[in-house]
Structure 1
Amino acid sequence: MTAPGGAPDALVVDFAGEEFVVAPGDTFTVGREGDLAIDDNLFLHRHFLVIEKVEGLWLLSNVGSRLSATVTDSGGRVQAWLAPGARLPLVFAATSVVFSAGPTTYDLTLRLSAPAFRETPRVDEADGQSTIGEIPLTPSQRLMILALAEPVLRRDGTGRSELPTSAQAAERLGWTLTRFNRKLDNVCDKLDRSGVPGLRGGVRSFATNRRARLVEHAVSTRLVTREDLDLLDEEQPSGDDVVHADL
């Protein structure tokens, strides 16, 4: 690793305000151990992510056996799910990497000074609306996601944050746990039907994993943002959304 301001074609890893510069020819490892030892969290692999330049292209590889990572461009318009054994080219000026290990969510930013792809401004539809790829949410569904993602959204920059349990998130909203879980089921079903991986229930799908995956997706794609957090403190109506709106 080199100090910031090294080779012009180097890659910079930014985690919790600390920067690491990876030069071509280096292999940078992220995990419980490695060049970026981010935590002693036993849910996290010893070696999880590897960054290296291969044949002129920077690659991000998942060398873990269980955990996945959500990888997006800085604008949240392009998203990939990096499963164990997969690798992905890094082509944007800034790439966000979000992943969870147990109840803890981590995010880091990878920056390239000479990216292979230059982002273009977002072009809205003629009527001022932009609907391609967006997932419509009811107000209560957005609140449910915000209650789960609040620790991540309130944190400045990259780093780590503990996800609330469903019971804690329900209490934050003043909801019953039954109501909260129903909203969680509805949102996960809606996103699953839209092609978002990792949210479908099953024998190996634990509650923590599903909440963590939902937060990863919502934050990295700007489904909810820090500017939405004020909604959590607004007085909520006593009634519920129309039932068919949640389906």
Structure 2
Amino acid sequence: MTETGADTVPRLAVEFCGEWFHPDPEAPFDIGREADLDVDDNPYLHRRFLRFTFEYGMWWLSNVGTMLSATVSQASGGVQSWLSPGHRLPLVVPTTSIVFTAGPTTYELRVELEGAPYQTVGRDDSPVGETTIGAAVFTLSQKQLILSLAEPMLRREGTSLAEIPSSAAAAGRLGWSPTRFNRKLDNVCDKLDRLGVKGLRGGPGALATNRRARLVEYAVASRIVTVEDLPLLDVAEDG
């Protein structure tokens, strides 16, 4: 049963492209192509994709779509979840990032929850040149590759996502040949795929066509790369 007393309902705020929305705990708040929050007229996006509801004293995020998934992460990068169709999760931290890709376009929402039951804690910075996630270690060149694709997103003003560079443009940014760039992109995607990161492969032996978007989506949401890492783009591999 929904609790709606003024003293029991934490205030939820959702931000998209600089505009703030405040879901009503008395009614579902939908996000999609034709919803309470109209993200875009992108035909790859569900009319109603994500839904906020207040139940059992908590705010919940549900995936009410049928095809798309969303990456939901704590703003500090400490928690990251993959929200697939038909599932939901509670919102329990002060600031949450929601990132999803529909066709060629990636979107990001920022969610702020007043009176969140859990608070964030700081994280230790990783040594320059390598980041560990589970059993995976990223070399300097692999991290540079991720940064070359994520650079527009990390440098953006506000919260809207810039277009992800083409492989040719990202290779040019690094001064690499297209062959070298694509080989390293294969290696990074394969490494994350083996760790269980979804969306980087389209099937057995076939990399997904939107793997660059998914790689950037995951890397930024889970803080594999941050704005503080951008100077690494100009570091030569020989140090």
Normalization by structure 2: what TM-score?
0.85
Q: Partner of 1:245 in structure 2?
A: none
Superposition deviation, residue 78 in structure 1: 0.7
Counterpart contact for 1:9–1:24, Cα < 8 Å: no
1:13 is matched with which residue? 14
1:75 Cα deviation after fit: 0.9
TM superposition shift of 1:165: 2.0
2:90 is the alignment partner of 1:76 = no
Q: Report the Cα distance in structure 1 between the residues aligned to 2:132 and 2:179, rounded to whole angstroms.
A: 31
1:161 Cα offset (Å): 2.4
> What's the counterpart of residue 170 of structure 1?
171
Pair 1:133–1:193, CA change in 2 (3 A) = same
The 1-side partners of 2:71 and 2:228 are apart by 22
Does residue 196 (structure 1) correspond to residue 194 (structure 2)? The answer is no
* 3-state SS, counterpart of residue 201 of structure 2: coil
Matches of 2:115 and 2:137, distance apart in 1: 35
Structure 1 unaligned spans of 5+: 1-6, 125-129, 240-247
Secondary structure of 1:178's counterpart equals helix
Q: Which residue of 2 aligns with 1:23?
A: 24
Cα shift at 1:123: 6.8
Aligned CA RMSD, in angstroms, stands at: 2.5
Amino acid at match of 1:28: F
Amino acid at match of 1:138: T
> C-alpha distance in 2, partners of 1:227/1:44?
32
Deviation (angstroms), 1:134: 7.6
Q: How far apart are the structure 1 equivalents of 2:133 and 2:101? A: 28
Q: Does the alignment pair 1:206 with 2:208? A: yes
Task: Give the fraction of aligned pairs with identical amino acids, expressed as a percent.
Answer: 56
Question: Superposition pairs for residues 178-189 of structure 1, below 5 Å?
Answer: 178-189=179-190
Please list every run of 5 or more consecutive structure 2 residues that lacks an aligned counterpart in the other structure.
1-7, 126-130
Distance 1:25 1:49, change over 3 A: same
Q: Give the corresponding residue for 1:91.
A: 92
Q: Which moved more, 1:162-171 or 1:136-145?
A: 162-171
Contact 1:31/1:47, CA 8 A, preserved across alignment: yes
CA distance in 1, matches of 2:30, 2:227: 30
Question: What is the deviation of 1:221?
Answer: 1.2
| 2:180 aligned counterpart, secondary structure | helix
SS at 1:207's partner residue?
Answer: coil
Letter in 1 for 2:191: K
Other-structure match for 1:222? 223
- Mapped contact 1:29–1:49 kept (Cα < 8 A): yes
> Match of 2:10, as an amino acid?
D
Aligned partners of 1:10 and 1:23 also within 8 Å: no
Q: Deviations over 1:145-194 (max 9, x none)?
A: 11111121111232232222222222222222221111111111111222
User: How many Å separate the matches in 2 of 1:51 and 1:117?
Assistant: 19
